[in-house]
């Protein structure tokens, strides 16, 4: 019976191709608009590291107090907690080793002198961090691996580069042991990262959460010796900065160091939270803080929500796009009503020959499903065009937002077919109730 209804549906589509095309276009435009915004929303609100996002935490410490936390240059967060750490706090937490893994980090912009003299120097974003960064964030490697904890302690000039940078500098070959000139120092390549990008870049939301990731990684300790003057991150100060230069910055309450820890169990989380409370209590006893201890420990999903990574305007656009889809479905319903009632004669004859109303209902629904499938395919094409232009509409998003994956395709097809069947229920019901007797009278 399925093949029979399918053949009837295909015949019905060919009987009035212009009307059929109009319904498909109405469905396709609605699906394309809504799926473009839904795909962007899903990409922006997705879990960047689902395998361990509830094990990675960003600690926060109130080092400004209630007065400094509300003045000019105060934290942009809702609870007025600084969203980064001072150099003093970050290095103290690193020395404590209170978590399974921990990494302080910040971003630099460094000039790179390629080993090939025929290539001109260029600037790249570089992340200064600790060796634990790579294991903590499950960073895959194509060649080699991260530098060691001993390299961190020795302030060794090691560098890990991305596959794209390795392709650009060395033609994609194994570059372990080769030397790069970054800023004011020569670095030895310890590893080459395979294709990897955390979207959104949860571990540093300072500039663009959906922008390009860094192309090289160097030890934090080495960077502080040679490269910290090139720091490229937002530095926020809750108190007046006294003095100038790097050394003055290191001893102020300015926050500019991102800090992440890995805490695999709930017990680990409780112990680390207590450790932070004990640490801030010690700072109060030393006279550095004169206000009650206030700390926070948020995992990756909580951190993204806390920073409002998904813009409210994007959610509003999604709601508007689905409202537009509803309007398109109403238009499609009217066109389907005209299409099905226009075939009242043939449907009435089938009914007079013994076809049950359920058979006519199934025939018309099959035709609606075929139209929905065509609308879904058209909608996917329009979605690809919409995503291709999304970088112009949303300049802060990355190219990762302009790709459709298998789940997006499945959602688009299911939404198109389901919505068309829903829109076709009333026209189908009307067509199935056509009284056959009036079509059997002689003219």
Residue-level pLDDT at 346: 62
| pLDDT confidence band for 75 (50 / 70 / 90) | low
DSSP conformational letter for 438: G
**Per-residue tokens: 341:** 């009632």
**Per-residue tokens: 129:** 């961090």
The pLDDT > 70 percentage for the chain reads 73
Helix count and strand count (H, E) for the chain: 16, 12
Select the more confidently predicted residue: 140 or 250: 140
Sequence-distant (≥ 6) Cβ neighbours of residue 342 within 8 angstroms:
16, 19
Mean pLDDT throughout 193-204? 86
Residue-level pLDDT at 269: 96
Statement to judge: residues 377 and 402 lie in one domain? yes
Residue-level pLDDT at 393: 47
Statement to judge: residues 106 and 37 lie in one domain? no
**Per-residue tokens: 29:** 């435009």
Cα atoms in the Cβ-side hemisphere of radius 13 Å centred on 26: 22
Which residue among 262, 279, 298 closes a domain?
262
Based on the structure, what is the number of domains in the chain?
Answer: 2
Statement to judge: residues 193 and 84 lie in one domain? yes
- In contact, 333 and 427? CB cutoff 8 Å: yes
**Cα torsion at 75, 79, 85, 88 (round to 10°)?**
100
Sequence-distant (≥ 6) Cβ neighbours of residue 42 within 8 angstroms:
408
Statement to judge: residues 30 and 101 lie in one domain? no
Mean pLDDT throughout 305-311? 78
3-state class of 356 per DSSP? coil
Q: CA-CA distances (angstroms) from residue 141 to 162, 167, 181, 190, 436?
A: 9, 14, 22, 11, 72
At 8-52, the pLDDT tens digits run 556 666 677 777 788 888 888 888 888 887 777 776 667 788 899
Beta bridge partners of 106: 128
Statement to judge: residues 243 and 350 lie in one domain? no
Residue 296 has φ and ψ, to the nearest 5°, of -145, 150
DSSP conformational letter for 193: E
Is residue 292 one of the residues assigned to a domain? no
Number of Cβ atoms within 10 Å of the Cβ of 184: 12
Query: What does the mean pLDDT of the chain come to?
Result: 80
Residue-level pLDDT at 38: 79
DSSP conformational letter for 43: H
Is residue 397 one of the residues assigned to a domain? yes
Highest mean pLDDT among 53-67, 298-312, 323-337, 361-375 belongs to 53-67
3-state class of 158 per DSSP? strand
Residue-level pLDDT at 220: 94
Lowest mean pLDDT among 261-275, 358-372, 425-439: 425-439
Domain containing residue 330: 2-47+311-439
- Can you list the alpha helix ranges (DSSP code H) found in 286-311? 300-306
Statement to judge: residues 333 and 243 lie in one domain? no
Statement to judge: residues 147 and 36 lie in one domain? no
Is residue 52 one of the residues assigned to a domain? no
Residue-level pLDDT at 328: 84
Is residue 156 one of the residues assigned to a domain? yes
- In contact, 350 and 432? CB cutoff 8 Å: no
3-state class of 114 per DSSP? coil
3-state class of 303 per DSSP? helix
Is residue 293 one of the residues assigned to a domain? no
Sequence-distant (≥ 6) Cβ neighbours of residue 177 within 8 angstroms:
188, 189
Is residue 281 one of the residues assigned to a domain? no
Statement to judge: residues 27 and 67 lie in one domain? no
Rounded to whole angstroms, the Cα distance separating 104 from 254 reads 15
Angle CA 95–274–305, to nearest 5: 95
Is residue 291 one of the residues assigned to a domain? no
The pLDDT > 90 percentage for the chain reads 35
Q: CA-CA distances (angstroms) from residue 376 to 188, 205, 419?
A: 52, 36, 10
Residue 271 has φ and ψ, to the nearest 5°, of -65, -40
């Amino acid at each position: 019976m399925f093949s029979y209804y399918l053949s009837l549906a295909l015949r019905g589509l060919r009987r009035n191709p212009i009307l059929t095309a109009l319904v498909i276009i109405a469905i396709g435009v609605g699906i394309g608009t809504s799926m473009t915004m839904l795909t962007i929303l899903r990409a922006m609100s997705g879990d960047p590291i689902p395998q361990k996002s509830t094990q990675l935490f960003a600690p926060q410490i109130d080092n400004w107090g209630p007065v400094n936390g509300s003045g000019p240059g105060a934290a942009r967060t809702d609870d007025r907690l600084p969203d980064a750490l001072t150099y003093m706090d970050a290095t103290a937490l690193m020395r404590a080793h209170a978590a399974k893994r921990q990494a302080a980090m910040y971003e630099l912009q460094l000039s790179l002198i390629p080993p090939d003299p025929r290539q001109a120097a260029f600037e790249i974003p570089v992340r200064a961090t600790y060796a634990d960064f790579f294991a903590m964030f499950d960073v895959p490697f194509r060649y080699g691996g991260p530098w060691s904890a001993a390299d961190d302690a020795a302030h060794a000039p090691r560098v890990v580069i991305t596959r794209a940078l390795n392709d650009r500098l060395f033609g994609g070959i194994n570059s372990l042991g080769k030397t790069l000139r970054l800023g004011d120092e020569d670095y030895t390549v310890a590893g080459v990262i395979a294709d990897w990008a955390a979207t959104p870049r949860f571990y540093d939301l300072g500039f663009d959460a959906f922008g390009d990731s860094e192309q090289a990684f160097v030890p934090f300790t080495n960077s502080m010796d040679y490269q910290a003057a090139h720091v490229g991150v937002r530095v926020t100060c809750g108190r007046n900065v006294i003095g100038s230069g790097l050394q003055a910055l290191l001893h102020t309450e300015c926050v500019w160091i991102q800090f992440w820890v890995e805490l695999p169990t709930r017990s680990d989380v409780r112990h680390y939270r207590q450790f932070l409370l004990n640490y801030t209590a010690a700072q109060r006893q030393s006279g550095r803080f004169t206000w009650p201890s206030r700390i926070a420990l948020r995992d990756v999903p909580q951190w993204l929500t806390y920073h409002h990574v998904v813009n409210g305007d994007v959610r509003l656009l999604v709601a508007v796009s689905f409202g537009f889809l509803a309007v398109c479905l109403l238009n499609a319903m009217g066109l389907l009503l005209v299409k099905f009632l226009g075939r009242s004669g043939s449907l009435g004859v089938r009914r007079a020959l013994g076809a049950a109303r359920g058979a006519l209902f199934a025939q018309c629904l099959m035709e609606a499903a075929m139209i929905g499938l065509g609308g879904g395919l058209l909608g996917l094409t329009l979605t690809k065009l919409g995503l291709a232009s999304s970088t112009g509409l949303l300049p802060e998003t990355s190219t990762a937002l302009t790709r459709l994956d298998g789940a997006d395709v499945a959602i688009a097809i299911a939404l198109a077919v389901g919505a068309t069947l829903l829109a076709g229920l009333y026209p189908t019901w009307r067509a199935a109730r056509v009284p056959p007797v009036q079509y059997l009278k002689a003219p």
